[in-house]
A and B are shown apart, each in its own frame.
Chain A
């Protein structure tokens, strides 16, 4: 006598998928709501491009998953019919039927799943379609011990539940699709990993204004050097700030970074790089960018930098004696004047000395006692003194974080270049 499914009412099946935005997690929650309270076993099938993704759960709470090529499932099978027509399919698995049973395989094509089901006999199996956006994208299959078939109310209750599941899961699927697109684009637009340059230690910090978008209008980049087959071993470091925030600004940073990379291939002199980038950006009427650009190389005496700036905060240098110097360098914002000329200043770093480039998000950071300001940054660097470049950047980042608390802030980027120790 099977009265489990028979006494089912839709209201009993409580399910909240609102927070589960990851598809596998949502599938787990659906099966958890069903198996135990309502049925003895459950399987959820999803069509993923040319594959079928299966998840199952038993009464002991074991989850298993498997994949099969979609072509491997006969259209005439119970599951195949539900997936292609959207209709509900019923199967009765009689006593003594083993895991090789074709009857069961018709609804449960994964052999591993079937062998975990041998203890439930006789068994009623029902498969209900999950449909949205005009297509059946999956199916819910549940099994109960019994053999007397399902009563119409039980089937209706399961169909009603599946309808709700289909809507909720499809939202998650749609979200996963756009998340995938966003993730690929955001990898392109996020600051790249820092390269390894002989005789140079690099460290960076990056924090965006709009956390939810994870992308911002500040950027940094380091390229060139021996690894890029640069004949004289020269490399380029750049930090910049595109007007605007969030993903719209990030799209522009991608363009500006690429322009600067291309310009640097022609001539790494920072004045030339900024001049060329300026001409590209002037043509693009509404893009204004502040940037600071350095050409560097290292030898046995340390690192030598030529720095040019375009409307950007001046960098700070931490000397070996612990003093902190501001590098006086100025120039017009990129994208404003077609004939802007950018002059470079030269800075030499002895081993252990550091030059820090940063955007105005650092000084502008709001706090309980006012803005962070240049003075506070200088004070932190004086306190930290000459030491490991990561510790220097982290000290500033920690002080900034303590200063900000959870206040909204602008995008922040810091890039530090240290002359490596004499080996």
Chain B
């Protein structure tokens, strides 16, 4: 099928997602299957691009957070249905190498991990999929029970990289190689290397080949020694109260009245979104510190700026956020250096 034709399908599928119409979305996928497209075609040309668009539509405030949640749940249900059907048709061979696919703890973006799972099953691997928000303890228990040849960890939000590092440590303690991937990592694999992953998967394509080159056993991860590695966990464990500080400082600087309960007063305004996003924004500082990559903070603040601007925040919200974060983080020298003082406007 041509690119243009796929584009048209993505638009139709998005229309079903916008209506929250699970049966419509499934019917659409069925039709594509009947035309000879396999699961990987559907993932690659329909589900992945649609999910990207869902994210953009939320950022642009064209879709509500509820629409985004419902759309994601529908795509997950569609993919799960396809996976179950295929498992019924083709079981992995008895000597298929077994691997575990898991999201990092507190990470709810399950779709990339689900898509990867299907890629690997097509490639002849026996995959245990642990799903979103898999606990670190559950993952380690699973490794001890089943002895997989490798673990694949998916992390979408850079703010959860400190948790990714802890999970990498836990997996390597068992001697098992760990491959990381997801939008929390940079395409060059710098963050993955710093965090001690055995390998980095840039995309789902070729992960099978990558897995075949891994050592069968790995030593424990070396301790992190770069500047900021310790501060990362200070910021991460204090991120909620730091987020409160940043929120208070930002609203003061923008001369916005600060009620005791911002959630209620600004039921649907940008302050509410700021309140939701600030723990992630502060988390991105922890992510930058633990993976020794300052661009994480720059990117996260620019992204928040765009999200808030679409929801009617004042023009100077971005620089104000940066200044407030700098102020809230004072006392943490490496963290403060990630947020250079704002240039005069």
Which residues of A are in contact with B by a Cβ distance under 8 Å?
16, 19-26, 28-29, 32, 61, 63, 175, 179, 183, 211-212, 214, 367-368, 379, 383-385, 387-388, 390-391, 394-395, 397-398, 401-402, 405-406, 421, 423
- Specify the main secondary structure of chain B where it touches its partner: helix
Identify which of B133, B137, B145 contacts A22 (C-beta below 8 A). B145
Say whether A24 contacts B147, CB under 8 Å.
Answer: yes
When distances are taken between beta carbons in the complex, the residues of chain B under 8 Å from A179 are 144-145
A27 to B83, CA, bound (A): 33
Known: A61-B216, A214-B141. A20 touches B175 (CB 8 A): yes
When distances are taken between beta carbons in the complex, the residues of chain A under 8 Å from B146 are 22
Q: Please report the total number of B residues contacting A with Cβ < 8 Å.
A: 38
Known: A22-B147, A28-B216. A390 touches B176 (CB 8 A): no
Q: Mark B134-171, 1 if CB is under 8 A from A, else 0.
A: 01011001011111000000000000000000000000
B303 proximal to A (CB < 8 A)? no
**26 pairs across A/B with beta carbons < 8 Å?**
A19-B174, A21-B174, A22-B174, A25-B147, A25-B217, A28-B217, A29-B175, A29-B217, A63-B216, A175-B144, A179-B145, A211-B137, A214-B137, A368-B240, A384-B70, A387-B66, A387-B69, A388-B70, A388-B74, A391-B69, A391-B70, A391-B74, A401-B133, A405-B106, A406-B105, A406-B106
Closest-by-CB residue of A relative to B276 is A402
Identify which of A20, A32, A63, A387 contacts B20 (C-beta below 8 A). A387
Which residues of B are in contact with A by a Cβ distance under 8 Å?
20, 22-23, 65-66, 69-70, 72-74, 76-77, 105-106, 108, 133, 135, 137-138, 141, 143-147, 173-176, 215-217, 220, 240-241, 244, 263, 279
When distances are taken between beta carbons in the complex, the residues of chain A under 8 Å from B138 are 211, 214
Known: A22-B144, A22-B147. A421 touches B133 (CB 8 A): no
Say whether A211 contacts B135, CB under 8 Å.
Answer: yes
Say whether B174 contacts A32, CB under 8 Å.
Answer: no
Closest-by-CB residue of B relative to A211 is B137
Say whether B23 contacts A421, CB under 8 Å.
Answer: yes
Say whether B174 contacts A25, CB under 8 Å.
Answer: yes
When distances are taken between beta carbons in the complex, the residues of chain A under 8 Å from B72 are 391
Say whether B66 contacts A395, CB under 8 Å.
Answer: yes
Say whether B173 contacts A19, CB under 8 Å.
Answer: yes
Closest-by-CB residue of B relative to A367 is B240
Interchain nearest-CB distance for B312 vs A (Å): 18
Interchain nearest-CB distance for A379 vs B (Å): 8
Interchain nearest-CB distance for A27 vs B (Å): 10
A179 to B146, CA, bound (A): 11
A368 to B20, CA, bound (A): 33
